[in-house]
């Protein structure tokens, strides 16, 4: 039986969800390339990704089915499930990084560019402070995942920047304290290089960004889009702040 690649995906969970959709629609899908795509930091597209294949005589109808029956991003659905399990674990007393996630959920997170520590920080603050809400966490992690896959090619850099290298909380630029530190934090978040004691979106970041008329995801996108241009970031923040305080 001749098999034809219908889709290439990054993570095994994405392949599994796609296969389930196709099976429910009456197709006969297969998964190939899992071992070849697995790297030390998670799954990689470097070896052709994880391939979902169908028999050659099903290709056109399967493609038509996927085009006519789009679903929400399967990664978002899986991330929500992992987040909910972590939240339940935390509330039930498994309130440490080591006990928060099982190996499968840990592997999924790492393949998405998210450490268990990062998820733990979001869950802990949601329980203790009622924020950030899940939708914000999802938006932030989607931006990091896109950067992880698109810019870093699904590979962790292996670098961790020490806390001592960050600007102080009191450091200011154009009279705005906290902003120099937050710019660096956002870059570390994008690159996955934050130390375990640092959280992007912490209890200091959230009220600061609200005062500036910005969101956690909006600021992360701003830093991503401006690259190394600190001045452009500062000017954008000032414009947002001034528009908020009028």
Task: Single out the residue of 155, 118, 163, 156 nearest to residue 140, CA to CA.
Answer: 118
What would the mean pLDDT of 143-172 be, rounded to a whole number? 94
Are 86 and 23 found together in one domain? no
Window from 127-131, 209-213, 231-235, 240-244 with minimum mean pLDDT:
240-244
pLDDT in tens, 168-217: 999 999 999 999 999 999 999 999 999 999 999 999 999 999 999 999 99
Domain count along the chain: 3
Are 22 and 105 found together in one domain? no
Are 175 and 227 found together in one domain? yes
Enclosing domain of residue 77: 73-156
Name the residue with higher pLDDT: 161 or 37. 161
Which stretch, 118-122, 152-156, 239-243, has highest mean pLDDT?
Answer: 118-122
Q: What percent of the chain lies above the pLDDT cut of 70?
A: 89
pLDDT value for 69: 73
Whether 14 shows a pLDDT value over 60: the answer reads: yes
Are 165 and 234 found together in one domain? yes
Domain boundary among 156, 187, 203: 156
Domain boundary among 134, 156, 178: 156
Are 168 and 124 found together in one domain? no
Are 196 and 135 found together in one domain? no
pLDDT in tens, 68-123: 876 656 788 889 999 999 999 999 999 999 999 999 999 999 999 999 999 999 99
Are 203 and 246 found together in one domain? yes
């Amino acid at each position: 039986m001749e098999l034809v690649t219908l889709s290439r995906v990054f993570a095994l969970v994405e392949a599994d969800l796609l296969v389930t959709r196709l099976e429910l629609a009456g197709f006969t899908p297969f998964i190939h390339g899992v071992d070849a795509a697995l790297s030390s930091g998670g799954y990689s597209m470097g070896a052709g990704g994880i391939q979902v294949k169908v028999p050659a005589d099903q290709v056109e109808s399967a493609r038509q089915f996927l085009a006519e029956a789009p679903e929400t991003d399967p990664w978002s659905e899986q991330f929500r499930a992992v987040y909910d399990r972590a939240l339940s674990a935390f509330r039930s007393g498994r309130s440490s990084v080591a006990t928060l996630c099982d190996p499968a959920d840990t592997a999924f997170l790492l393949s998405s560019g998210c450490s268990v520590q990062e998820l733990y920080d979001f869950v802990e603050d949601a329980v203790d402070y009622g924020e950030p809400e899940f939708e914000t966490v999802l938006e932030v992690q989607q931006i990091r995942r896109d950067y992880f896959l698109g810019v870093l090619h699904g590979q962790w850099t292996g670098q961790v920047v020490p806390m001592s290298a960050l600007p102080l909380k009191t450091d200011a630029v154009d009279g705005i304290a906290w902003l120099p530190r937050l710019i660096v934090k956002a870059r570390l978040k994008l690159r996955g290089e934050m130390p375990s004691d640092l959280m992007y979106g912490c209890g200091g970041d959230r009220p600061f960004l609200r005062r500036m008329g910005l969101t956690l995801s909006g600021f992360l996108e701003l830093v991503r889009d401006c690259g190394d241009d600190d001045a452009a970031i500062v000017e954008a923040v000032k414009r947002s702040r001034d528009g908020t305080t009028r």
